[in-house]
Structure 1
Amino acid sequence: MTSLPVVNQPPHRCGALLDHLSRRMRLRAESVLAPLGLRPRHLLALTVLRDQGGSTQRALASTLDMDGTTIVGLLNDLEADNLAERRRSPEDRRRHVVELTDVGAKKLAKAEFALAAVEDEVLAGLDHDEREQLYGLLQQATTTTEIAACAGAADESPEPPAC
């Protein structure tokens, strides 16, 4: 009988677990957003617009990591449903400023309540304190990643990044 070689185990890695939870969350989120006429990318754009009090179209594309064509399509969707509004910047007529409409703010609030139930379902194995700790750790990792990405963009581009 041959025995299997002993292999050193690498340290715990979170990528596969984060991907698994993300997929589960995304599938459930899509099912509750669809009746509201929203997709996850719509929700993300509306959230950014609310949290930032509006944005230039270029800065929104950078924040959402989308190219110009994709952001235009996304904003066309949001404007068609009166969820966001684009207008020319008074400071620079070549730029568009994008803002959340009242209709968009109300739909975003409905979506967030529906998604809270999804999050409760997916993270049911964690108590309140553990969820707060997870949130803090994810926020810390996201901030660090955004700072590094912004620094890399500044090194690679002659134009200042929209970070």
Structure 2
Amino acid sequence: MASLPVVNQPAHRVGALIDHLARRLRLRSETVLEPLGLRPRHLLALTLVRDRDGISQQTLASTLEMDGTNVVGLLNDLEREQLVERRRSPEDRRRHTVSLTEAGAKTLAKAEFALAAVEDEVFCALDTDQRETLYRLLQTASNGEQPICTETIPDC
């Protein structure tokens, strides 16, 4: 019988911890977004529309990595609640641009405030410096880059 190759494994596996924290964040986030009539995908779209006012539907679909048909449904939800508005692009009348309404900006601000409280709850055991270090490490890992060595990130 052939033996399995030995895989060198670190003493601590982070995947399960990240998954656990992500699940806690997701569940709490969904709970605080529901009273605002939002789901996480709505929040993502609203944030992108705020940050890139006048974004085209096509660019929004590409950025969200969603099919154009699904983005239309997502925007229909947001437009129905008067959180965004679509207009014909002045440069190309076949395309639509999306902008945040005043109600959308207020709802997004409430959502971000509520989500900050969720992060405070989930990460209450970490001080400000530790949270910043965690953020930088996760950002580095998500970008697939080598970490930038600092005093707060030892042994890199």
Same fold flag (TM > 0.5): yes
Give, in angstroms, the shift of residue 8 of structure 1: 6.1
State the partner residue of 1:160: none
State the partner residue of 1:35: 35
More helix by share: 1
Per-residue CA deviations over 1:78-97 (Å, capped at 9, x if unaligned) read 00000011111111111111
State the partner residue of 2:95: 95
Give, in angstroms, the shift of residue 131 of structure 1: 0.8
Give, in angstroms, the shift of residue 18 of structure 1: 1.8
* Unmatched 5+ stretches in structure 2: 1-5, 146-156
Counterparts in 2 of 1:99 and 1:143: CA distance versus 1, 3 Å:
farther
Please give the TM-score of this superposition, normalised by the length of structure 1. 0.78
Give, in angstroms, the shift of residue 29 of structure 1: 0.5
Counterparts in 2 of 1:62 and 1:37: CA distance versus 1, 3 Å:
same
Counterparts in 2 of 1:14 and 1:59: CA distance versus 1, 3 Å:
farther
Give, in angstroms, the shift of residue 13 of structure 1: 4.1
State the AA in 1 paired with 2:95: R
CA RMSD of aligned residues (A): 1.8
Distance in 2 between residues matched to 1:33 and 1:108, nearest whole Å: 10
**Matches for 1:152-163 after TM superposition, within 5 Å:** none
Larger deviation, residues 136-145 vs 43-52:
136-145
Give, in angstroms, the shift of residue 144 of structure 1: 4.8
Identical aligned pairs, as a percentage? 70
State the partner residue of 1:10: 9
State the partner residue of 2:57: 57
* Unmatched 5+ stretches in structure 1: 1-6, 146-163
Please give the TM-score of this superposition, normalised by the length of structure 2. 0.81
Q: How many residues align?
A: 139
Larger deviation, residues 53-62 vs 26-35:
53-62
State the partner residue of 2:19: 19
Give, in angstroms, the shift of residue 126 of structure 1: 1.1
